[in-house]
Every structure is written in C-alpha cells, then in structure tokens.
Chain A
C-alpha cells in the first residue's frame, strides 16, 4: 500500500463497496476536464459459503465493469495499475460492510459523558455499537460481565475520566472486562482488540489488568478535559484494527487488502466522510440518511460538528417488523390512504421480513412499504436528534462558550430551520418508482422547516466516494455533485402554530419567463414544477409563522427546483399532526398524493 498518492496522476479510479449481499464497483474517469462516473457493475458478495472469498465477488463486479466500459482492468486475477494506454486503473480503493460490519462495545465512566463520547467515536468510525458500559448504567457487575460474554463484540473501546482525574472508576471498568475475559466474535484463536482512550493516569493500571488477556492499545484520551472531545485518535485506531483484526478474519480479505491502494474502510465510515466533505466545501448544514434492509444510518453536520447514528434494527426488510413494533400499527397505518386489517398488515410485513428480497408488485404493497419507510426514517431521525448533542457535563462558566452560542450542555445540535440539504439513500428512496415518492417520504419523515433542498443518491455510491474523498477530495466532490446526487427540489414549510383556515404562506416565484404566486392554506401541499436552477422567490409567512427570517418576517431569496420541483408544505410544523378522523385523514392523504403526483390511480388501490 502506498499512502503517498499524487492526485495529479490519478485519471482512472476503480472503487468497490463489498456489502452484505452485493458488491458494487464503479469506474471514475477524468473526462473533458472533470471527474465523472462512467460505468458501474455489480455482483453478489461472496463472503459466505460456498465461495468464502470476498475477492470472487469483487472480480465479478469488475468483470461487469470491463464488459460495460470496454476497458481492460484485469489481467487474469490482478488489477492492472497504473493505467497503460486504454487499460488498467490508476488507483483501486474499497469499502466493506460484509460479514455484519464492525460490531463494538464501548465503555465510559459516566454514561452521558465519556460513555457518549466513546459511542460517538465508534459510530463515526462506522461501527455498530452493541452496548455502552458505564459505571452508572444501573447494572450490577455480574450483569455487565454476563453481557460482555454474551455479546462477543469485534472490538471494545474503553474510555473514562479526564486526563489526570480519578482513576478508580475507569479501573473498575477494566476489572469488569478482566472478569468477563471477552472473546471476539470471529476467530476463536486471537485476542480481542481493546482500545483504551481514557484518563492517561489510569493507562498503566488498565494495562496491568487487560494487557495479558486482550490485545490492548492505548491512544489519546477521548475526553482530555470536560470542554474537549478528541475523537480522531480513537477513530483512526478503530479503522486500523478493523483492518488488522476483524477484516483479516473474514474470508478473502487479506487478498483484497493487498490489492487496494489505501486501507479498506467500513462502509458507513466512508459515507460519513463524504457527508463531512460536502458540508465543508459547500459550507452548509446537511443531514444524510441511508435506509437499508437491516439498519438505517443518519449522518449530520450542524455547527461544523459531524455526528452519525445507526439505528441497528430499523430497516426495510430484515428488520421491517421491528419498525412496526417500535412505531406501532397506528403510526404506520396513518400514512396509508385505505383501510387495513391489523392481522393482515402484520402478516404481510412479517412475510417481507422472512423473504427480504421480494419487491412490491401491487400499488397497495408499494404504498404500505413507503408508509413503513416513513416511520423507519422518522424513528431513526428521532434517535439521531437525541444523540447529536453538544457535549454534556461541560461547566457553564467555560470560556469558549460565548463564541459558539452554546447556552447549555446536552442540547441537540439538529436545527431543522438551519438545515440546508437533506440527502436520502437506500433502496426504498433511490429506487422508488417515482422521484416524487422519495421526496414525499423524506419530507413526511424529517419534517424539514423553512427552506430545505432535498436530494437522493442515485445509485448508492456514497461509500466509494467517501473513501475517495480521503485521498482525492476534488474527484469525490465532482462526482458527488454531477453523478451521485439527484436533486429532487426544495421543500418550503412555514413553522409555528396555525389555525385550520389560516393562510400559511404568500408566495411569489419569479421565473425567467413567468411569475407564479398564490396563497398556501393550512393543510395544503402544493407542487410548483421547477428545474434545478436558481429561482427568485418572495415568501410572506402567515400570522405568527416563520419561514426562515423570523416570526412574521418576509423572506426574499433564491431557491432551487429539481426533478420533482418546489414543494410548498402548509401542513404545519411544530406541531405537525395527522388527524385521527380516518375519513378526513384518507381524504387528505389522497389530496396530497394527487397534488404532488405521488401515486398513480390511487382510487384503484
């Protein structure tokens, strides 16, 4: 592997993402002065029996790329690099979530402080956090020991205490680990990697307890002072160990690692990288969501702070029944514009869980899936809002607080009025038969406020672009803008308490050749067709409402359309409620669907 890559020389990029079920390969080339996605191929992932070698699926996906592009990339079973005339690639990179991804346990002294920081470090590195151990988590010692033995994580991140603080509690956690003598999930013959990122004064006593029985690595404290969180050293170490230990145990990965020019990254960690890069280059507040079959990942950048959460059991197939269990029948049914029997619905959803690869053939089945998607997205975002918070335990008298307007500790960073862009990804959003459906699902689940651009990832290449962004940000951003994102349009939603017959918004859009203006009443949803070009707009919120400039303040700005257009949402924010009156609710859903061109022949369904 060569970490000193000269980006000037890179003209042809091969990137793969080895998912649990599919390995996706993309080819990026420098064409007419810009990096563009030129081809993509995919093949089933081959980590499981009978192949048990991830490189088979990678080769198959690359072979599909070769067929589609006409470019020779492979010489037998090796990647031709660097490019030679019309063959080969300059760089090969890969991400992976095969084999269940990276499963971690984290520990901290105080659950809401170092425990939360450790969780943030692990999640940001792309892990699934199986449990958070803390001195104050309310469990007895033997319960913690049992839990560790039962979960068998791939890795443990142990933190606790500020540098120079008391050592007792963090050593106590180390003693719990020592008593549990944890064994890794994969491979019976190697020691479990444990990263210690706590009070530097406790490093030695922790080493005494865990140095022999685990593969202990000490890095800089995750929370050196109460005011400071230092996640990067832990995240970097997690990535290293992910490759050295966890992935090295998975079939074929040693070979794959020898092919790639930079270390393989966990898929969600890579998605986080591209979201961060976009927020940074465009100077915007952004939320990204990837809804998969088993899990939903939410990423956000607010006030320059990146956060990622994984809702491990909120997904559209493997864990679809859990969405139903967590949201409840009524919350799913409220998005469905027809009557449903509870037993019938639960059986249908159960059958999707046990036959996860089936697809909705009837319109009715599609509507039900998209109703569940709204709830999965909503619940995942709720969890994200609770987690993406300012540092807890910070003393209010701290000197830096004034500069950042952080009035108290532990408040959520997610401010929907400040949100500039909402990006969706994952089958149910990216492959919705109509883009309008993706826009509606995102709006109904996230309830963006004021003016928010909405987009979807066309073919889910954010992981590959994420790892690319770490070595060639320019190429990653260019491809993201031009080929990855599909701009759906903009949602405009006034915020504040409104009455049922109230005007929510007076609007006037000034297009080059016409002006479109009107009133948006409470409960209305309107679609103004507009391309992805800047449109001047004058927005006057209804009495007591805010559209982004403050309560009752007129806002003149530019907004962008997209493949869907501009959606004016007068259904209310803070609160947004759907009526309990079934007839009226069904009527409203039908009206909104028709207005936003969501479904065909809804009456038939």
Chain B
C-alpha cells in the first residue's frame, strides 16, 4: 500500500512530555535526579554579565591614553559606586587636577592604554529558570540545566506569539466554529488560559489583555491584526520573545478557521485543569511549534505517542487539507495514486484522492495534507 509522510501537529490526550530547562550560560542547578517539581519552582539559576559602559578616561582627564592606567584610582574588578571618583589626572605641580566620577554602580572591568578607555560593568543580572511544568527530574546537565519528565495532554498549535505562560484552562466558546468575542471574556478569566473557536479580532485580544488573561488558544487570527498587536509585520515565524500580555496560540492558521474538533474536544475535556503554554514558534529547520501542556495529576501508565510510521498517510487515513482551495476541510484518503498528476496550476505533483465528509471526492497534492492523529 502507498504511504506518504506529512507534517502533523501533536494532539495527544496522554503522552510522555519531556522538557529541557536550560540556562543561557553556565550556572547552578538546584535540584537532583528524582526530585519532583512544581511549575513555579526554580530549577537552575545563574548571573549574566551586567551591561557595560565605556568611559573615555583619556579625553575626560585630558591625558594621553598610555597615561590612563596610572590615573586610575581603583583596581581592576574592584567594586565602584555611582559618583565615586575613579580616576584623577596628575595635574600641573599637583594642581589643576581633573577627576572622573563613575556613572554607575558596578566594577571596573578593564582599562586600555591604547584607546584610553575604561570599561565599567554594572552588577550581574540574576537569571532563574523555573520548571514550567510539574514533573520529575530525570537528567541533570552539570551547571547547565535539567530535563523534566511528566505525563499528560500535549497540544501543538501552528503559530504562537508570546513566551511561556500558565493558568487554569477554560473553554469560553460553545463550539470550535464560534468566534471568540470580547463579551465572552470577563474578570473571572484573569490569569487563565482561555480557549476560543475559529477566530478572534484584535479588539478581542486587547480586551483579554486588559482583563489580564494568561493565554488564548484560537483556530484562526488575521495576519494584519497580528501585525497591529506586534507593532510590526511578522516577516519570519520565529517568535516567543514578544512582550504582549497573554500568549496567543493559533491552532489552524491565518483567517477564520474552525478549530480542529479533536483539539477542541480534548481541551474541553481538560477544562478546569492547570495548563502550561508556550507561544514560542520557530518555523525553520529544527521546527518548534507552540504548545499547551496539561500535566496529569498522576501517572496512569497508558501512554500514547506517535512515531514516524504513524505520520504516514495510507488509504483510510483521516486528513485535513492545509491549503486553498479546500483549506480546512477534513476527509479520508480514498487512494494514493503512484503517478504524478497535473493540477490546475499545471504543477505535476504526487496526489491523494480524498473523500470529504459530504461525500465529494477531490484530487489534492499530498504536500497540502495534514494527518489527523487519533
């Protein structure tokens, strides 16, 4: 039987979830293998170098660069405070001395006899990485981070903005095809992750932001609205560092598109539970999709994950079309003809014969299909 591999987003009711939590640079890991963690618990921390300021000592003291080191009143790596006199010229016969005050609190990092500059470093900035999800520490990378394993729901979206957020999950529309409107979002949704249906507008998003919603999951969103929220056009889908309030996860794509029923049902079935979400997306080699994780309260042993073979479309597979003209429609693979077929665009492609839910049959390029994993 013919097979065809397609990209598929994971929509899993009970799976093993493995999360690496890493520091941006070496530091201290606070836990050990086997420790049970809660989402807010700090697993590792470090200090990243503080901002630096360069001060042109030679200019300010009116001395030659090679004379700067002897004018310095503090040693390298010595602490300095704002306003402290850190350099002084010799003056003429001890008179008319020029002085230089430190513009910052920090340390003296370097002095150059060639450029006549001093580099002052602000105090280091502490950085802490939390667990993000509850679970068990299964691996420690010395001074770098930990690996946490848990079980639970894993739903991947197609695109997100905003980084990590968390809260209790609540479904606020009545069907996957409803639009999420501002009226549906109330004070009680503050700090929660809310699930909509097919669409929301920029105004609805702004309303959710005002309320203080932690995250929004929707089927579709307009690209132009996304540009307005970000303040720029998203040129490449590499996101996660935006500071926009709630994290926004789109499950289907741009436009008004009903959320896949399976996704909607799975999220509905888990309403009221804690969810950790991350809008970070990277659509490049090494793809990262946004995610919603709902860790199980306890392990129940029935893990379902998918392997490469599960992503193979075969006759009878349930699929969704991911490009116009049949974008969003769900159907079953009737056959996978081996020969290339000519599309209306005259492109010669590998195709699948798809029977849609209404019984109509169409020929669709295999590249435009997405497997629905059940």
A interface residues, Cβ below 8 angstroms from B: 20-21, 45, 47-48, 50, 98-100, 141-142, 145-146, 149, 167-168, 171-172, 175-176, 178-181, 183, 188, 205, 294, 313, 318-319, 321-322, 324-326, 342-344, 346-351, 353-366, 431, 433-434, 600
- CB-CB under 8 A from B346, the residues of chain A are 363, 366, 433-434, 600
**Min distance, Cβ B344 to any Cβ of chain A, angstroms:** 5
> Do A354 and B253 have beta carbons less than 8 Å apart?
yes
Q: A356 to B7: give the CA distance in the assembly, Å.
A: 10
Interface membership of B364, Cβ < 8 A:
yes
Q: A362 to B117: give the CA distance in the assembly, Å.
A: 63
Partner of A355, one of B110, B236, B253: B253
Using A350-B254, A355-B253 as known contacts, say yes or no to A171 and B324 having CB atoms under 8 A apart: no
Q: Which of B45-53, B176-184, B206-214 contacts A (4 or more CB under 8 A)?
A: B45-53
- CB-CB under 8 A from B222, the residues of chain A are 343, 346-347
- CB-CB under 8 A from B232, the residues of chain A are 325
Pairs across A and B, CB under 8 Å, 7 listed: A45-B285, A142-B53, A188-B144, A318-B284, A326-B235, A353-B283, A360-B343
> Do B285 and A350 have beta carbons less than 8 Å apart?
no
> Do B159 and A354 have beta carbons less than 8 Å apart?
yes
User: For A100, A188, A358, A363, which residue has the most chain B Cβ atoms within 10 angstroms?
Assistant: A358
Using A168-B65, A313-B236 as known contacts, say yes or no to A361 and B345 having CB atoms under 8 A apart: yes
Going nearest first, the 4 A-B pairs with the smallest beta carbon separation are A322-B235, A325-B233, A433-B346, A20-B285
- CB-CB under 8 A from A21, the residues of chain B are 285
Q: A146 to B125: give the CA distance in the assembly, Å.
A: 13
**Min distance, Cβ A251 to any Cβ of chain B, angstroms:** 11
Partner of B284, one of A146, A294, A364, A365: A294
- CB-CB under 8 A from A361, the residues of chain B are 323-325, 343-345, 347, 364-365, 368
**Min distance, Cβ B8 to any Cβ of chain A, angstroms:** 12
Q: A342 to B225: give the CA distance in the assembly, Å.
A: 12
Partner of A366, one of B158, B159, B347: B347
- CB-CB under 8 A from B26, the residues of chain A are 188
Task: Write the chain B residue with the least CB distance to A370.
Answer: B345
- CB-CB under 8 A from A364, the residues of chain B are 324
**Min distance, Cβ A462 to any Cβ of chain B, angstroms:** 20
Q: A171 to B223: give the CA distance in the assembly, Å.
A: 46
Q: Mark B209-247, 1 if CB is under 8 A from A, else 0.
A: 000000000000011101000001111110000000000
Partner of A346, one of B144, B158, B224, B364: B224
Q: Mark B29-57, 1 if CB is under 8 A from A, else 0.
A: 00000000000000000001101111000
Interface membership of B322, Cβ < 8 A:
yes
> Do A325 and B235 have beta carbons less than 8 Å apart?
yes
Interface membership of B303, Cβ < 8 A:
no
- CB-CB under 8 A from A50, the residues of chain B are 308
Number of interface residues of B (CB under 8 A): 56
Q: A365 to B343: give the CA distance in the assembly, Å.
A: 11
Using A168-B65, A346-B223, A354-B253 as known contacts, say yes or no to A319 and B236 having CB atoms under 8 A apart: yes
> Do B110 and A175 have beta carbons less than 8 Å apart?
yes
- CB-CB under 8 A from A175, the residues of chain B are 54, 110, 112, 115, 117, 119
Interface membership of B172, Cβ < 8 A:
no
Partner of B347, one of A98, A324, A355, A433: A433
Q: A50 to B305: give the CA distance in the assembly, Å.
A: 14
Q: A99 to B345: give the CA distance in the assembly, Å.
A: 33
> Do B53 and A347 have beta carbons less than 8 Å apart?
no
Interface membership of B312, Cβ < 8 A:
no
User: For B25, B232, B255, which residue has the most chain A Cβ atoms within 10 angstroms?
Assistant: B255
Q: A149 to B24: give the CA distance in the assembly, Å.
A: 11
User: For A100, A313, A319, A347, which residue has the most chain B Cβ atoms within 10 angstroms?
Assistant: A347
> Do B286 and A48 have beta carbons less than 8 Å apart?
yes
User: For A21, A183, A359, A366, which residue has the most chain B Cβ atoms within 10 angstroms?
Assistant: A359
- CB-CB under 8 A from A149, the residues of chain B are 48-49
> Do B367 and A294 have beta carbons less than 8 Å apart?
no
> Do B368 and A321 have beta carbons less than 8 Å apart?
no
Q: A364 to B346: give the CA distance in the assembly, Å.
A: 11
Task: Write the chain A residue with the least CB distance to B323.
Answer: A358
Task: Write the chain B residue with the least CB distance to A601.
Answer: B344
User: For B236, B283, B325, which residue has the most chain A Cβ atoms within 10 angstroms?
Assistant: B236
Interface membership of B269, Cβ < 8 A:
no
- CB-CB under 8 A from A363, the residues of chain B are 344-346
> Do A171 and B255 have beta carbons less than 8 Å apart?
no
Partner of B223, one of A172, A181, A347: A347
- CB-CB under 8 A from B144, the residues of chain A are 188
Q: A304 to B250: give the CA distance in the assembly, Å.
A: 51
Interface membership of B76, Cβ < 8 A:
no
- CB-CB under 8 A from B370, the residues of chain A are 355
| Given A146-B51, A325-B235, 8 other A-B residues pairs in contact with their CB atoms under 8 A | A172-B115, A179-B121, A319-B235, A347-B253, A350-B223, A365-B324, A366-B345, A431-B347
Q: A353 to B158: give the CA distance in the assembly, Å.
A: 10
Interface membership of B361, Cβ < 8 A:
no
Partner of B7, one of A145, A347, A357, A431: A357
> Do A359 and B158 have beta carbons less than 8 Å apart?
no
> Do A321 and B25 have beta carbons less than 8 Å apart?
no
> Do B323 and A351 have beta carbons less than 8 Å apart?
yes
> Do B235 and A321 have beta carbons less than 8 Å apart?
yes
> Do B233 and A351 have beta carbons less than 8 Å apart?
no
> Do B323 and A354 have beta carbons less than 8 Å apart?
no
> Do B324 and A348 have beta carbons less than 8 Å apart?
yes
> Do B54 and A355 have beta carbons less than 8 Å apart?
no
> Do B54 and A179 have beta carbons less than 8 Å apart?
yes
Interface membership of B127, Cβ < 8 A:
no
- CB-CB under 8 A from B253, the residues of chain A are 347, 350-351, 354-355
Q: Mark B347-362, 1 if CB is under 8 A from A, else 0.
A: 1110000000000000
Interface membership of B271, Cβ < 8 A:
no
- CB-CB under 8 A from B17, the residues of chain A are none
Q: A358 to B159: give the CA distance in the assembly, Å.
A: 16
Using A141-B54, A179-B54, A361-B343 as known contacts, say yes or no to A318 and B237 having CB atoms under 8 A apart: yes
Task: Write the chain B residue with the least CB distance to A176.
Answer: B54
**Min distance, Cβ A151 to any Cβ of chain B, angstroms:** 13
Partner of B51, one of A20, A45, A145, A176: A145
Interface membership of B109, Cβ < 8 A:
yes
**Min distance, Cβ A201 to any Cβ of chain B, angstroms:** 11
Using A346-B223, A361-B343, A433-B345 as known contacts, say yes or no to A179 and B235 having CB atoms under 8 A apart: no
> Do B158 and A355 have beta carbons less than 8 Å apart?
yes
**Min distance, Cβ A525 to any Cβ of chain B, angstroms:** 20
**Min distance, Cβ A172 to any Cβ of chain B, angstroms:** 5
Task: Write the chain B residue with the least CB distance to A51.
Answer: B308
